[in-house]
């Protein structure tokens, strides 16, 4: 998505006051800094779009027109639209105290998409190409502990318990604490990393000692290795390792309730999505098409798999390059 052009618009005085009140109210209600930033940004763009109008004259008609504009001009998806609507809903209910609230029919229907995952061989291949100790530790903890990117960046040394092979996630999503696993095979590498980089408070610190590595920095370094592997067309990200962590646990027979607690999901239904991508549940299912075909040799099947995988990788890279040209 291209940058929203309304970010540079100068706001009216009443709009600036309402925007500051929105930030103060969200902070006072202990919303996460990320939520405060997201809501304030979306309302800032909305007010910028209608910079000539008083705040109290921006209603349902203007919100709908703005949503249609960013869908048409910025090609935003459903998640982005829902975020805009949720920010507007909070604004009208809690700040403006106006009779108008965002009607439910304006909320875009949620899109149920299965997450992308890496198989075990892909994870191993990716880790083998990472030579930087710090970068390898970051990716290893994503996959080995199922951390969110914000949780990994805010991970403090005191929250790691090597003796119990566990990590305490403090104030994760929804401001909830939980415990997740620390892979035993990472202990030696973790010790080497700490001896080399000597972090003071956060496990992963930036250029300034005592300050956590930023989320954007971690996202960029993960994307660097994804491009290095030639996977840039598959929409892999930091979150892909978390999805792979959960899926591989499920395939190995781990109880789904345990996985829910490790991931920090509020509802079991969120964790159940991994049943849909769990390969183990489909391993013994034979297509009726295969039953009417002559048996194929293992070698010929393996050759076909390799050729198809190579073709897909090449086509995805070509498609990504074509989008850049356009």
pLDDT(39) > 80: yes
Confidence of residue 326 (pLDDT cuts 50, 70, 90): very low
The residue written with tokens 């999901």 in the block is 265
Confidence of residue 323 (pLDDT cuts 50, 70, 90): very low
- pLDDT digits over 205-238, tens only? 988 888 999 999 999 999 999 999 988 878 899 9
Question: Three-state SS string across 199-227, please?
Answer: CCCECCECCCCCCECCHHHHHHHHHHHHH
Question: Do 120-282 and 5-106 have the same topology in CATH?
Answer: no
Architecture per CATH, 120-282 = Orthogonal Bundle (1.10)
The answer to whether 222 and 139 are in contact (CB under 8 A) is: yes
The answer to whether 78 and 110 are in contact (CB under 8 A) is: yes
The domain spans of the chain are 5-106, 120-282
pLDDT(296) > 80: no
DSSP helix/strand/coil, 181 = strand
Q: What is the pLDDT of residue 112?
A: 72
Q: In this predicted model, which residue has the larger pLDDT, 277 or 204?
A: 204
Confidence of residue 316 (pLDDT cuts 50, 70, 90): low
Q: How far apart are the two ends of the chain, measured CA to CA in Å?
A: 14
The residue written with tokens 């590498």 in the block is 189
- pLDDT digits over 92-128, tens only? 989 987 776 677 767 666 667 788 899 999 999 999 9
pTM above 0.85, yes or no: no
- pLDDT digits over 240-264, tens only? 999 999 999 998 889 999 999 999 9
pLDDT(324) > 70: no
pLDDT(4) > 50: yes
Average pLDDT over residues 28-57: 91
Average pLDDT over residues 185-195: 93
- pLDDT digits over 172-181, tens only? 887 889 999 9
Of 118, 114, 115, 116, which is closest to residue 229 (Cα–Cα)? Answer: 118
- pLDDT digits over 138-160, tens only? 999 999 999 999 999 999 999 99
Average pLDDT over residues 279-301: 69
pLDDT(325) > 60: no
The answer to whether 92 and 102 are in contact (CB under 8 A) is: yes
Torsions phi, psi for 166 (to 5 deg): -145, 160
Calculate the alpha carbon distances from 172 to 12, 37, 38, 153, 279 in Å: 36, 17, 17, 11, 29
* Cα gap 158→167, rounded to integer Å: 9
The residue written with tokens 């930023």 in the block is 214
For 5-106, give the CATH class.
mainly alpha
* Cα gap 241→141, rounded to integer Å: 9
Confidence of residue 302 (pLDDT cuts 50, 70, 90): confident
- What b/e sequence results for 145-182 when a residue is b if at least 16 CB atoms lie within 10 Å of its CB, and e otherwise? bbbbbbbbbbbeeebbeeeeebbbbeebbeeeebebbb
């Amino acid at each position: 998505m291209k940058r929203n052009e309304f970010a540079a618009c100068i706001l009216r005085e009443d709009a600036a006051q309402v925007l500051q009140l929105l930030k103060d109210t969200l902070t006072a209600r202990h919303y996460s800094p990320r939520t405060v930033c997201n809501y304030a940004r979306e309302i800032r763009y909305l007010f910028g779009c209608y910079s000539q109008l008083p705040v109290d004259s921006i209603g349902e008609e203007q919100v709908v027109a703005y949503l249609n504009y960013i869908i048409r001009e910025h090609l935003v998806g459903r998640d982005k639209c829902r975020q805009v609507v949720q920010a507007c809903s909070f604004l009208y209910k809690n700040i403006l105290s106006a009779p108008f609230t965002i009607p439910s029919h304006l909320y875009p229907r949620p899109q149920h998409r299965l997450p992308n995952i890496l198989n075990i061989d892909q994870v191993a291949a990716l880790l083998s190409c990472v030579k930087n100790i710090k970068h390898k530790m970051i990716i290893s903890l994503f996959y080995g502990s199922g951390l969110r990117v914000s949780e990994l960046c805010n991970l403090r040394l005191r929250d790691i318990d090597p003796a119990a092979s566990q990590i305490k996630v403090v104030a994760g999503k929804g401001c909830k604490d939980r415990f997740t696993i620390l892979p035993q095979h990472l202990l030696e590498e973790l010790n080497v990393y700490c001896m080399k980089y000597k972090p003071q408070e956060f496990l992963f610190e930036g250029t300034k000692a005592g300050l956590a590595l930023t989320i954007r920095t971690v996202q960029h370094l993960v994307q660097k290795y994804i491009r290095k592997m030639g996977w840039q067309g598959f929409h892999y990200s930091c979150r892909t390792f978390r999805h792979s962590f959960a899926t591989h646990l499920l395939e190995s027979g781990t109880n789904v309730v345990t996985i829910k607690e490790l991931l920090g999901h509020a509802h079991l239904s969120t964790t159940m999505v991994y049943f849909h991508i769990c390969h183990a549940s489909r391993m013994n299912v034979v297509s009726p098409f295969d039953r009417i075909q002559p048996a194929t040799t293992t070698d010929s099947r393996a050759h076909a798999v390799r050729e198809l995988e190579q073709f897909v990788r090449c086509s995805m890279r070509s498609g990504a390059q074509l989008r850049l040209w356009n």
